[in-house]
Structure 1
Amino acid sequence: MYFFVDVFLPLPLPKPYTYQVNEEDYKLLFPGFRVAIPFGRSKIYTGIISRKHKVSPQTYKPKFIDSILDDKPCIYPFQIEFWNWISEYYQCSIGSVIKASLPATLLLESETKVIKNNNISIDKNSLSDEEYLVYEALENTSLNIKDVIKISGKKNAIKLLQPLIKKDAVLVKQNIEERYKPKFQKVFSLNKNFNKPTILKKTLESLKKSPKQLKFILSLIALSDQKNKWINAKKIYEKSCTSASISRSLLKKKLIIEKEIKLDRVKYDGITHPALQKLSDHQNKAYFSLNKELKEKNIVLLQGVTSSGKTAIYMKFIKNIIDKGGQVLFLLPEISITSQMIVRFQSYFGNQVQAYHSKNNLNERTEIWQNVYSSSDNAKVIIGARSSLFLPFKQLDLIIVDEEHEISYKQFDPAPRYHARDASIYLSKIINAKVILGSATPSLETIYNVNKKKYGVGYLNERFGGIKLPEIKTIDLADAHRKKKIKGDLSIHLIDSISKTLESDKQVILFQNRRGFAPILECLTCGHMPQCVQCDVTLTYHKNTEKLQCHYCGYNIPIPVMCHSCNSTNIITKGSGTQQIEKQLNDLFPNIPIARMDWDTTRGKNDFDRIINSFSSQKIKILVGTQMIVKGLDFKNVQLVGVINADHLINFPDFRSHERSFQMLTQVAGRSGRSNQRGLVLIQTYQPNHPVIINVIQNNINSLIDLELNDRRLNSFPPFVRLVRITFKNRNIENLNIASDWFTNVLSQSFKGKILGPVFPPISRIRNYYHKQILIKLDSRASRLHFKLILNKTKKSFESIASFKSVRLVVDVDPY
């Protein structure tokens, strides 16, 4: 009898592959085990077993697995079910889901190693120059493919190695190396034989002629106590002013003993306050309301105005869960807010809190993964961005999605293109957990589900401590320009308000949702604007690097002295980004510390924390930023918030632009006046009477919801339909047109729903790939299931046509 296992590979493959195992391994293996498997001619990958069976595949002969990597399954069954749902719903390969789910340290791949064959001698004169260089290098050490490319200067290393392989001069092997490296710390303790006072006294007397060794022993005794007799080597060296040579001498004399202990890279050493913040009457009312709803429904919405104290309510729910031994996942839309939230949570829950996001290095991510898998005491509360949804929770009882309306919860590239809020709701169904969605400005999808009684709801309609919501005023930019009451991009009214705020020792936030210095550089003589050579966009001027840069592919050129088209020197910038606003502020307020928070200033691991901490400690008085500054940050001393131009948000060509602009403006306004004094928000706009602006001023979310729901119902947009966007990409525009037309025609023959396109998107070329899109509207669950079957059949037919092989197909479900 033969035994088989189906294995998921971390590759964009349409299905798992079947491998053969012996009877002994078959009894040992279960779904969730990691195995090293050969795939292709010689490559070895880490695969995840999805099921075991005794049915041989009909179309190919199965290979044997190479080795078993675990003693027990490292993936829980619910994770495999969750991966399958993500793959099926979001129309992506299971391999791409696995790559997004597991730390790279758990997905080992073999590396090609080239070694010299010492059993064969060859005539070196018969080798080409490049072959000779490689062969000589192999005399001393083995090489990987990158080494061969570097030594030879040739890009095609395999082609170069082929003659050497045929001559048996070199051997090619596949090696798997462990990438995770635990962190260890050396510690010392006094030998147990010398614990008795009489023996210890004799020992100390014997060391009088070795003063440094004596000092080491005395320091070790001073640092030791009943609870901890093992002391960090670094601490002893510092206290005794000694080095490793002294400890080696003492080890030889057997006066001390040493060992290495494994350290947790992510550890909290601060002070904890176990007593939670006392809830106000309004918070208690919302808490009991949600508690009641959670007994009947699995998903509830906590809708509370900005600074109403939603986090304190979350904490009470979290405490209830971890007191019962459960785990909690607290999702945040941006890494920028995790640092503030972590500090707050750790002050109450201490080492039970860990953060998981893309800024963690590989070893940190692996350790958090292992802690969550084992449900250890230091991983009861996980605060993280969307990727933390894939962690191996052993007992996840509650998922909190804070700022649930945020677009950052949607993954756009690469696959899987999932929405963390929606995926968390499905995950909660699998593991029978509860979900709390929180926001001051909930998404229309969530409001729609509340109205249908699908979700429960609790409200917080006033700020904590009875603080009033900020006063919101508009500044008419058309009027300011006409009366010449504007300097650069800042109206005189806004400048005066900034001055008054600074005089009262308060802080200012200015919001401009565009990075760089200026989006356009234009020649006034011929009208030429420098374009990206790889994308259909103008290059953005970045003043700090004095370069024009593409924000899509990274292409950049030095700032031109003269026009590339007519050689004129009459060149100006148009439009404003955060860099230009920062410069204008520095000119107006030269002695005031000003900082900028955008993608350019927050690339490093600790850049977010550095800027936020400096602003929180009032070292920075004015903070200019993009949408990073509007998401849940809490600054007690901010009195004034200014929006440089609200029209960019409102007029954006997207069916959600009004909803998103309301959310963003309300959220940025919520950063103002979060302590005792009422805040002020000034919105610069050319449309002061626009319904979105009026609703933001009146904090009238219900009016906006009614308008938007009515509009979307009439025009068939979410939440009344589901959208699927299919993007075609190719370097050849003619081939792209033929391929997209063919796909649309074949799809429309079987599917009778609404298909819009194919059309070129606003930016039709990125990284030298032309793009075309079609948009499908699905109005019922039956039509969604029917469409998926048709889509998969059409994709298979499309991929079988030779002329379309170079056309890349990207399916994005719920692309908003």
Structure 2
Amino acid sequence: MIANVVVDIPSKNVDKIFDYKIPPDIEEIVKVGVRVEVPFGSRKIQGFVINISEQLSSDIDMSKVKSIIRVKDFKPELTPELIKLSEWMANFHLVKRISALEIMLPSAVKAKYQKIYQVNDPENLPAHILNRFNKEGILTFDQAQQSEIVTDLEGYVKSGQLVKDTIVGQQLTKKYATCIRIMPTDRLDEIIESLHKKEKQLDILNYLIEHRNEDVLLKTLKEEGFSNSSINTLVKNQVLEKYNSVVARDPYENRIFEKEHNKSLTNDQQHAFTQINEAVQGNESTTFLLHGVTGSGKTEIYLQTIENVLEKGEQAIILVPEIALTPQMVNRFKARFGDEVAVLHSGLSKGEKYDEWQKIRDGKASVSVGARSSIFAPFEKLGLIIIDEEHESTYKQEDYPRYHAREIAIWRSEYHQCPVVLGSATPSLETFARAEKNVYQYLELPERVNKQKMPEIELIDMREELKEGNRSMFSEQLKQAIQERIDKNEQVVLFLNRRGHSSFVLCRDCGHVPQCPNCDISLTYHKTHDDLKCHYCGYSEPMPQLCPSCESEHIRQMGVGTQQVEEQIYSTFEQAKVIRMDVDTTSRKGAHEKLLTAFGEQEANILLGTQMIAKGLDFENITLVGVLNADTMLNLPDFRSSEKTFQLLTQVAGRAGRHKKKGEVMIQTYNPEHYAILDVTKNDYLSFYQKEMKFRQIGKYPPYYYLVNLTISHFDKTKVLKAAKHAHDILIQHVSSKSFILGPSPSPLSRINNQHRFQILIKFKSEPDLLTALQYLDDYYHEQYVKDKLSLEIDINPQMMM
């Protein structure tokens, strides 16, 4: 038998299928989807079996075909569907097959390679060398380097006393726990009889007999009320024995979720539920757009539809855009479905994520809740895929391999013949346009579930505040509204989409602004460590006391970030208690949930944060939302800047007045006439959509045209220019006159990490030969990258233009 294997080398040169013989002794366990260790040249590497056949896939001589060394999995890590999906991704997204396969797996199962020296002839090795090796006769190359004996060892390799090898391991560490079991015996009846007067010991024995087919944790026995002394006595008398067993890590093991039952649906909810459920029952690969205002009960529809999916014996995936949204979503799903739910997001440790993923693979979980990468959850009977807040750009992977979760979801829905639900209060223009053309089925929830009115939204012109001499971050109206909420013991959400203390530092005498030496961007001031940081390459330097250019003392922090706003809140409002949520405060594991729980338990009356607080939060005591500067995204060099501004402001405004208390929203802006901001105040998505679509049509942007963005980067600007011209010339030959090629031109961020960056933007409607040209460029510049680190990034349907 022959195994077709994709090897774990992320290189274009070996981005193909290799044939390996399957030794007869492991034929039973080599299955499609398992990882295997194979010889490749002079080394051993990991590979994925993607097919098994009786014939070779090429004309190579059978005598030259090598054999698989060993199998690394008892069960396949990948399903046949995911292997097929990786082939589609490799072609559509121009990614290497191994990169597509590896992104589907949790990082804990990725291969870890170690070069080693192994003892071959121990009798002829000097004792001082032999003592360096472990019991198995192995010494790692790293250990040899640290001991500075590599040269000596190489001599013993040449003479045959040692051999060099590569161990293919993995980064997975297992969690063990102490378990208790009855020692094997044929005298069990006698033992039970002898314990008839020792009730406590007898109870333990009966409990273990009842659970004899499972691992019983020592911890569980103690929780059941059995005493440590009784257990130890039975162990001492050799009736019971302790042993270690691998246990799954459950990030929610210490949490109790109160059972939640179905809520009654409104007429609009019932209509949407019926339409989606019909597609579930009819096995239809329909894509729905569920367009519901904030607070309209989209999550309840998700829950009730998933319940029907589970009753049908199928599984469901629900995606959320950020970790910040996960805690509240997890609470609702765990409360409804309990242990059926597996959670997959980057806030978990490697081990926890692997164990949750394994629950799905082994069929112990039927619902997956998580961020972008959980779209690859290895379910084999998918009945429903839901993408909540579908407009969010975080569903697009911005680094290699680039993919959009929505595209993967639609591919999987066609494979499984199941529906996809795209939910949002502010759908992306591309999605809404497809719904208008009946490519997607449109479902609307125009009202909040409790008939609660949408919050009143007031625009505050900060230009007028400046004229009145108010230079603080708070207008007089917002300041007064915050104080009223504090006095009433109500809660406030304040939104500013800029972290740090100050956005930049400026010398008022000469105008000098400290720049990052590696990137064409100004440094951001962070007060916590009193330093200036670059948010692109991580460079930092101390805050200067004097201007580095003219040595003036008049160097000041300009612009405002969340850190500075927090200080201003405390200096302005005496009774304020602030929880700040941004990248700086949520970097530790579990920080999102901890902060949101604290706010939900009213340990603070003001929640201040960046866009991570704009979506998904549902607290009944929030009656005021303040947007401190609505203009931060409007002026970005991105054709989606107006759309992102409208979406973000609508989402954050929706946090107010979601329950019985009336909500109010105040938006501070220097552009009160801008249509994106005005339409937020009217809560009028359709009006914004129609205006924005006109600009998209004039500018030839999505959804009227597709986009491909090519970014070329290198330390040498001349080489970047030459490569950009070459790429442009190739594209011209393969693209018709109906399409547009813009550039090459400097990227909006023209230098990051000392690499100069130029970009080429292609706008097209249908170009059959374009993929061929892009494939050629991808192959050609892969060679250039290997030789000279000249990089070409190809982004199909880009979300970020920076």
Q: Secondary structure at the match of 2:724?
A: helix
* Deviation larger for 320-329 or 361-370: 361-370
Shift of 1:158: 7.8
Q: Secondary structure at the match of 2:667?
A: strand
Query: Aligned letter for 1:6?
Result: N
Cross-structure match for 1:129: none
State whether residues 120 and 168 of structure 1, in contact with CA within 8 Å, keep that contact through their aligned partners in structure 2.
no
Cross-structure match for 1:814: 797
Cross-structure match for 1:210: none
State whether residues 455 and 662 of structure 2, in contact with CA within 8 Å, keep that contact through their aligned partners in structure 1.
yes
Cα–Cα, structure 1 residues 786 and 503, in superposed 2: closer, same or farther, change >3 Å? same
Query: Aligned letter for 1:101?
Result: M
The one of 195, 202, 210 equivalent to 1:200 is: 195
Q: Secondary structure at the match of 1:465?
A: coil
| Correspondence 1:21-170 to 2 at 5 A | 21-22=21-22, 24=24, 29-50=30-51, 52=53, 54-55=55-56, 57=58, 62-71=65-74, 73-115=76-118, 119=122, 142-152=138-148, 165-166=157-158
Query: Aligned letter for 2:602?
Result: Q
**Quick one: distance in 1 between partners of 2:786 and 2:408?**
36
Shift of 1:696: 0.4
The one of 427, 449, 455 equivalent to 1:442 is: 427
Shift of 1:337: 0.8
Shift of 1:146: 3.6
Query: Aligned letter for 2:497?
Result: N
| Correspondence 1:477-488 to 2 at 5 A | 477-487=462-472
Shift of 1:517: 0.7
Query: Aligned letter for 2:463?
Result: A
State whether residues 195 and 201 of structure 2, in contact with CA within 8 Å, keep that contact through their aligned partners in structure 1.
no
State whether residues 6 and 49 of structure 1, in contact with CA within 8 Å, keep that contact through their aligned partners in structure 2.
yes
Matched, 1:471 2:456: yes
Shift of 1:619: 0.5
Cα–Cα, structure 1 residues 293 and 429, in superposed 2: closer, same or farther, change >3 Å? closer
The one of 4, 8, 11 equivalent to 2:9 is: 11
Cross-structure match for 2:445: 460
Matched, 1:573 2:557: yes
Cross-structure match for 2:165: 173
State whether residues 731 and 770 of structure 1, in contact with CA within 8 Å, keep that contact through their aligned partners in structure 2.
yes
The one of 312, 319, 324 equivalent to 1:336 is: 324
Aligned residues: 783
Cross-structure match for 2:723: 739
Query: Aligned letter for 2:178?
Result: K
Q: Secondary structure at the match of 1:464?
A: coil
The gaps in structure 2 that reach 5 residues or longer are: none
Shift of 1:805: 4.0
Cross-structure match for 1:386: 372
State whether residues 755 and 776 of structure 1, in contact with CA within 8 Å, keep that contact through their aligned partners in structure 2.
yes
Shift of 1:51: 5.1
Deviations 1:687-723 (A, max 9, x none): 1121111100111111111112222122211112111
| Correspondence 1:282-681 to 2 at 5 A | 282-291=268-277, 298-376=286-364, 379-413=365-399, 415-487=400-472, 489-681=473-665
Deviations 1:136-157 (A, max 9, x none): 85599854344345445xxxx9
State whether residues 524 and 572 of structure 1, in contact with CA within 8 Å, keep that contact through their aligned partners in structure 2.
yes
State whether residues 297 and 455 of structure 1, in contact with CA within 8 Å, keep that contact through their aligned partners in structure 2.
no
**Quick one: distance in 1 between partners of 2:134 and 2:259?**
63
Query: Aligned letter for 1:568?
Result: S
**Quick one: distance in 2 between partners of 1:168 and 1:586?**
73
Q: CA RMSD in A?
A: 3.2
**Quick one: distance in 2 between partners of 1:682 and 1:523?**
33
State whether residues 35 and 49 of structure 1, in contact with CA within 8 Å, keep that contact through their aligned partners in structure 2.
no
The one of 660, 666, 677 equivalent to 1:682 is: 666
Deviations 1:450-470 (A, max 9, x none): 111111121111111111101
Cα–Cα, structure 1 residues 311 and 658, in superposed 2: closer, same or farther, change >3 Å? same
**Quick one: distance in 1 between partners of 2:276 and 2:57?**
52
**Quick one: distance in 1 between partners of 2:332 and 2:352?**
21
State whether residues 729 and 769 of structure 1, in contact with CA within 8 Å, keep that contact through their aligned partners in structure 2.
yes
Shift of 1:814: 0.7
Cross-structure match for 1:774: 760
Query: Aligned letter for 1:9?
Result: V
State whether residues 710 and 761 of structure 2, in contact with CA within 8 Å, keep that contact through their aligned partners in structure 1.
yes
**Quick one: distance in 2 between partners of 1:496 and 1:161?**
76
State whether residues 672 and 681 of structure 1, in contact with CA within 8 Å, keep that contact through their aligned partners in structure 2.
yes
Q: Secondary structure at the match of 1:508?
A: strand
**Quick one: distance in 2 between partners of 1:83 and 1:736?**
31
Shift of 1:252: 3.7
State whether residues 290 and 457 of structure 1, in contact with CA within 8 Å, keep that contact through their aligned partners in structure 2.
no
Shift of 1:180: 3.6
Cross-structure match for 1:279: 265
Shift of 1:179: 4.4
Shift of 1:448: 0.8
Query: Aligned letter for 1:344?
Result: R
Matched, 1:759 2:759: no
**Quick one: distance in 1 between partners of 2:522 and 2:118?**
49
Cα–Cα, structure 1 residues 529 and 165, in superposed 2: closer, same or farther, change >3 Å? farther
Q: Secondary structure at the match of 1:346?
A: helix
Cα–Cα, structure 1 residues 197 and 146, in superposed 2: closer, same or farther, change >3 Å? closer
**Quick one: distance in 1 between partners of 2:361 and 2:619?**
35
Query: Aligned letter for 1:483?
Result: E
Query: Aligned letter for 1:675?
Result: H
Cross-structure match for 2:704: 720
Cα–Cα, structure 1 residues 200 and 801, in superposed 2: closer, same or farther, change >3 Å? closer
Q: Secondary structure at the match of 1:359?
A: coil
**Quick one: distance in 1 between partners of 2:455 and 2:576?**
24
**Quick one: distance in 2 between partners of 1:160 and 1:662?**
67
State whether residues 116 and 169 of structure 1, in contact with CA within 8 Å, keep that contact through their aligned partners in structure 2.
yes
**Quick one: distance in 1 between partners of 2:204 and 2:75?**
41
Cross-structure match for 1:209: none
Shift of 1:164: 6.4
Cross-structure match for 2:695: 711
The gaps in structure 1 that reach 5 residues or longer are: 125-131, 205-215
Query: Aligned letter for 1:497?
Result: A
State whether residues 112 and 171 of structure 2, in contact with CA within 8 Å, keep that contact through their aligned partners in structure 1.
no
Query: Aligned letter for 1:176?
Result: V
Shift of 1:806: 2.7
Deviations 1:318-363 (A, max 9, x none): 1111011110101111111111111111111111111111222232
What fraction of aligned residue pairs are identical, expressed as a percent?
Answer: 34
Query: Aligned letter for 2:372?
Result: R
**Quick one: distance in 2 between partners of 1:715 and 1:616?**
45
**Quick one: distance in 2 between partners of 1:160 and 1:798?**
41
State whether residues 502 and 524 of structure 2, in contact with CA within 8 Å, keep that contact through their aligned partners in structure 1.
yes
Deviations 1:36-90 (A, max 9, x none): 1123431422333345352364589543322233455442221112111122111
Q: Secondary structure at the match of 1:650?
A: coil
Q: Secondary structure at the match of 1:764?
A: strand
State whether residues 293 and 457 of structure 1, in contact with CA within 8 Å, keep that contact through their aligned partners in structure 2.
no
Q: Secondary structure at the match of 1:623?
A: strand
Q: Secondary structure at the match of 1:176?
A: strand
Deviations 1:549-595 (A, max 9, x none): 11111111122222223333221011111111111112112442111
Query: Aligned letter for 1:47?
Result: F
Query: Aligned letter for 1:346?
Result: K
Cα–Cα, structure 1 residues 648 and 539, in superposed 2: closer, same or farther, change >3 Å? same
Deviations 1:749-769 (A, max 9, x none): 232332111111121111222
Q: Secondary structure at the match of 2:111?
A: coil
**Quick one: distance in 1 between partners of 2:69 and 2:192?**
58
State whether residues 273 and 347 of structure 1, in contact with CA within 8 Å, keep that contact through their aligned partners in structure 2.
yes
